[in-house]
Amino acid sequence: MHPLLPEALDILGRFTKTGQVSSAGLSDSARSPIPTLAAPPPGQLPDLSAELLAAYLMTEVVQDGGRVWSGAGAGPLEAPVWVITAENPWSERQDGEANEAAMADLEQTLVGAGLAPVRLVGRAPDGSWSEDCFAVAVGHPASGADAAHVLGWGRDRGQHAVFLLTTERHTVVQCATGSELATRPRVLPPR
């Protein structure tokens, strides 16, 4: 369990009453497609705060046109997907032009890897922030993105974490280590 998870869950509890957020089984590598990666040298990555972990866990993932992929009222998801962004490295706000260039570079990388990225938006439930992101299918190189590539693409773009969305779960996965930091149901009750 990530050491900040209890505090993050407490913060999250102030925003949701579902009681369905969990850290149970997050390190169970037999059930996880996520490899364990060597941790980067100390001091090279900004710390992940409990508030940021809670924000990641609360993030709604939506598509233009209103389809909800994760969050209140999420629709069915046929297969697992990774959700990755290149915006706002290390959670430091960048201007629109820098974010657009970073997303264009990420899209080029994903398409160059033979993937079909779907543009989405990750946003706070209260609308206080949002970031563009892409969903890509989970799988082997011929049909989808493997964890090592997705986590590397996130690390290369200064991202603390990516999301793994399955039919049931929304999991926050740390880019630096591949650790599953927290999980919640993908489909939440309507607000």
Number of domains observed in the structure of the chain: 1
Backbone angles phi, psi at 170, to 5 degrees: -120, 110
| Distance (Å, whole) CA 33 – CA 78 | 17
CA distances, 163 to each of 42, 82, 120, 175 (Å): 24, 6, 12, 10
pLDDT of 13: 53
DSSP designation for 91: G
pLDDT of 146: 86
Look up residue 15 and give its two tokens.
């925003």
Q: pLDDT in tens for each of the 191 residues of the chain?
A: 445 455 555 555 544 444 444 443 333 332 333 333 344 444 455 567 888 888 899 999 999 888 999 999 999 998 899 999 999 988 888 899 999 999 999 999 999 998 999 999 999 988 888 999 999 998 755 556 788 899 999 999 999 999 999 999 999 999 988 989 889 999 988 87
Tokens 């069915």 identify what position?
76
pLDDT of 108: 96
pLDDT of 6: 58
pLDDT of 69: 96
> Model's pTM, two decimal places?
0.78
What domain range includes position 48? 5-188
Contact of 102 with 87, CB cutoff 8 Å: yes
| Distance (Å, whole) CA 1 – CA 170 | 16
Which phi-psi region, left, alpha or beta, contains residue 174 (left: φ > 0; alpha: ψ -120 to 50)? beta
- The DSSP bridge pattern shows strands 68-72 and 187-188 to be parallel
Residue 12 contacts by C-beta under 8 Å, 6 or more apart in sequence? Answer: 21, 54, 57, 58
pLDDT of 15: 41
- The DSSP bridge pattern shows strands 169-174 and 161-165 to be antiparallel
